[in-house]
Structure 1
Amino acid sequence: MKTVTKKDVAKRTAQELNEKIYTAEKFVDAVFTVLRKILSEADPEVRIEIRDFGVFEVKKTKPKPKARNPRTGEIIYVPARRKTHFKAGKLLKEVLKEPLPPEEDQ
């Protein structure tokens, strides 16, 4: 599995905009910082919709009064919390649905 870092995103953004990498890094970093702030400040839920890409959501979970610790078997209480969820947009889904090319034996 290939890992793509924020630096890689900045490089691709710089190529797309015909800009210097250090300029694109500032914009990419700012976008991720703003998205992170919006998601973390959710009170209690929020939805960030980016057309043709997808939707980021913060959703509430229900409290679980009778959860079980799998290691000890002890019954514990798990309070309500928030979790993130991503749903791919239509264009992204269509690209991901395309069949993979057959792999060649090496």
Structure 2
Amino acid sequence: MVGISELSKKVASTTNTTQKKTAEIITAFLKETVESVNAGNKVNLADFGIFERKEQKERVARNPKTREEIKVPAKDKFVFRASSAIKYKD
């Protein structure tokens, strides 16, 4: 798995900036993306995908130990839909 530090190292070498500055930019981008989606907007990055909130309907599940039915309430989920440009690995 690649974290922000590894990603910023790679991006910094590609863009001739410092790793620290690149990490700050990535962190700011992620923060703004989450805030925008939480405010009810879709964030569409061309040839990458769409970040949005979707409602998951109320459903019935089962407790694995007791097999008792449990009602799971509806909730909003933060989702990412990949663009077709990256969905399929050649």
TM-score by length of 1: 0.72
In the alignment, which residue of structure 1 is the partner of 2:61? Answer: 67
Shift of the alpha carbon at 1:67?
Answer: 2.7
Distance 1:67 1:88 in 2: 28
C-alpha deviations, 1:37-72, integer Å up to 9, x for none?
A: 223x245xx4211001111221101112x4321221
> Which structure's CA Rg is the greater one?
1
Shift of the alpha carbon at 1:78?
Answer: 1.0
Distance 1:21 1:61 in 2: 38
CA-atom RMSD, angstroms?
1.8
- Does residue 47 (structure 1) correspond to residue 47 (structure 2)? The answer is no
In the alignment, which residue of structure 2 is the partner of 1:30? Answer: 28
- Does residue 79 (structure 1) correspond to residue 73 (structure 2)? The answer is yes
Distance 1:38 1:57 in 2: 9
Distance 1:27 1:67 in 2: 41
Distance 2:25 2:49 in 1: 20
What stretches of structure 1 move > 6 A for 4+ residues in a row?
none
Higher relative contact order (CA 8 A, sep 6+): 2
TM-score by length of 2: 0.83
C-alpha deviations, 1:57-93, integer Å up to 9, x for none?
A: 21101112x4321221112221101123222213223
Total equivalences in the alignment: 90
Q: Percent identity?
A: 30
Unpaired runs of 5+ residues, structure 1, are 99-106
